[in-house]
Structure 1
Amino acid sequence: MINLDMATGCDYRGRFAPSPTGALHFGSLVAALGSWLRARSQGGRWLLRIEDLDPPREIAGAAAGQIATLAAFGMESDEAVVWQHTRGEAYAAALAALSARGLAFPCWCSRSDLARSDGLHRGACLAAPDPARTPAWRARVPAATIAFDDGVAGRCVQQLQDEVGDFVLRRVEGYFAYQLAVVVDDAWQGVSEVVRGADLLDSTPRQIWLQRELGLPTPAYVHLPLALGPDGRKLSKQDRALPVDAAEPLPALRAALRFLGLPPALCASAGSVAALLRAAVPAFDLAALAHAAKTNVQLHHGNA
């Protein structure tokens, strides 16, 4: 089991964890607001973590801009912001623990190698070890069925080996992968419930498997419906979705609250960010959002 010195006894602890690859857009505002409202409606704490694990994709100043934008929308972390680039030793310790049990292994397979197996790595590497090249590190995924109950999507089931395969824990460039880092940090920060976008629902079973193998607690999960663009695709920085306006936050805040199922009259009534958020907290209803949501996910929903 890895060290969880930071975790506290607070009953509810939620978080928002953006990557510093651009300005916050409406989709990321919805995810941040949903996690913030859920934490506040439960009388809990809301934490901010910057997932700066991929330097080539990061944009200078993006993280500071994201933090400032969240503050303009009335959302500030209840504790010091955690930066993943400072957490390498913890990720290395988790990888070493998995490797010692034969649950992580070096892999030299290229994308063209994996194309022969539908892009999935299952068991044996297709490429021979090459001392001249740095390998990736992968999880040795068993033939396991992982099932969990999501707060919006309901019962979700995934066959890890067949649907995911041996996923990457550390990339050939030396950067730790999101799947490992998020598990280590959610436990270290004592996160009791993860509220995030439905695009990450497919990642949850492999994170639950890692939690079990590392002896870490499994939080509850809530995957919010995605905000889609006119073309039906989710809004993303990569698609150059327009950033929200921190200088004039009320219009986007009202739109995000309506997206999350709050009554239009409530969203239109308050004249300031603080007043609008005060009114929104008791009105936020996760059960109603779950009932209304029409998720479009790749997991099988049903009985495990």
Structure 2
Amino acid sequence: MLLLYRILNLGGDYIVAFSTVIFSVLILILTPIFTLVNLIRYKTFKSPKNIVITGMYHSASSGIGYSLALHYSKPGVTISLFGRNETNLLKCKKECEAKGAVAEVNIADITDRKTMTKYLTDFDSRYPVDLLIANAGIYESQLPNDFSFEEKTHILSETNVNGMLNTVLPLLSKFEERKGGQICITSSLSFYVDFFFPAYSASKSFITSFAFALRKRMAEFGVGVSVIVPGFILTPLTDSFKKQGLMYLNVDQAVKIIANGIKYNMAQISFPFPALLYGICYSISPPNFRGAFSYLVSWANKDIQTFDQKDKNN
């Protein structure tokens, strides 16, 4: 009986795989129509003047949040920077002001809902925000090795999920009232796959789903919502990716892609393309085949050390 069940279940997986191929062909045929509809429906926005950016955590001037702040800095622009590293915030503020922008720093923990609401609404009352970039987030290997799996999971959920909500939700009503502005939320390509850290991947799945649903809701008010879905970006925190031969972009390349995606109000801003393609192919494979899929990929890249392996070796 068990063997029969497995055979029937395997048959179901083959049907799912075949259906995916048929659906993919259909999508390919309809792509020109989808593109035309998007060109007609998508609202484009003027260059932002009042910007909020969270995620200024890195001590080095090479994180996405830091680089985006510098990218948007010019005369007539006011930027509110959020983070926990005062030295880094002040350094970024100085560089933004050197390019002609006005910059404010907020030393805040994004998991503190009341503090985030206070700082965000105060800035918005003085400088109506037209671009909010919720960029803060962490992954398991950034936490102490002696933390248990349970502790890491709770911390990541609180930071990545609730921290994002504490950044986005306080100003939603303001965006709705003004019937304009953009919200950009940073996720990760890891939401497509399941062999990264469980809590990190799960938190990014929530963020991506939330951003897509929010985009549909806020479009009714003329507000744009985009989700940044990056692969590996080379920073001091991820320098080992380059050594392991993984597909990555440097921060400058990433910022150009992100800014361009925000400019054209894209629903999803993803890079690098090979990693995106791999993630999509993996995600559309039948769930019962994904274990074999990831095993073959790992076998083909024996020299690449996964996050789980790195965590165990630390």
Q: TM-score, normalised by structure 1?
A: 0.36
Pick 1 or 2: higher relative contact order, CA cutoff 8 A, min separation 6.
1
Structure 1 or 2: more helix by fraction: 2
Q: TM-score, normalised by structure 2?
A: 0.35
Question: Whose Rg is larger?
Answer: 2
